[in-house]
A and B are shown apart, each in its own frame.
Chain A
């Protein structure tokens, strides 16, 4: 099993550009989540999905879109990048509710917006 994979590993964007961060898991997990990690802030939940076709907002959803057309993939779209979105982004999956079982994290995408 590859677990949770994320691409790209690093990305530099100019303000106003859009892009999609890719996330895939091969463990047949129902739950998938996107977090951002900023220095001194811990991880903050952006969006999450409880299964294919079902997504919802987390703590800091503004400026991001998600969709879940398959169990395996959960892409995160930045609509119009802003310097405040400079961060490290982590995708995670879990077999059941995120609090009732461990989450498996991807290696992260380090995004810089100039």
Chain B
């Protein structure tokens, strides 16, 4: 199973609403990152939160990390149609001598104008 698993798998909201997606992981991590992928494109980095941080903001994005529950959430406030994309969390941990980054299966967000 995936180290990072997002839920929900799909989310549809109206423009202006907030969107929250969650990521759970299984092993201890160094950092957790969130990426966005527009349809047919590569991933774009949104935000990185270190294991000793609990919350981080970037513009309309708010990320929380709870290492005791091995979970993170990404909140997008005042969503726009342009936020329509898939969102992935990526966790990293040392594994077999290298720093392994594992991506979750993603949450597909649709923002309806």
Contacts and interface: CB of A to CB of B under 8 A. Distances in A.
Interface of A: 4, 33, 35, 40-45, 48, 56, 58-59, 90, 92, 97-108
A7 to B, nearest CB: 14
B105 interface: yes
Contacts of B99: 97-100
Interface of B: 2, 4, 29-31, 33, 40-45, 48, 88, 91-93, 98-106
A6 B82 CA distance: 25
Contact of A105 (B4, B44, B105): B44
Given A99-B31, A99-B92, A100-B30, A42 B42 contact: no
B105 A103 contact: no
Contacts of A56: 98
A92 B44 CA distance: 10
A108 B44 CA distance: 12
Contact of A99 (B30, B43, B44, B88): B30
Given A42-B104, A98-B101, A103 B41 contact: no
B31 A100 contact: yes
A33 B106 CA distance: 20
Given A42-B88, A97-B99, A102 B41 contact: no
B98 A48 contact: yes
A100 B45 CA distance: 12
A102 B2 contact: no
A42 B104 CA distance: 5
Contact of B103 (A42, A97, A102, A108): A42
Contacts of A100: 30-31, 92, 99
B45 A102 contact: yes
B72 to A, nearest CB: 14
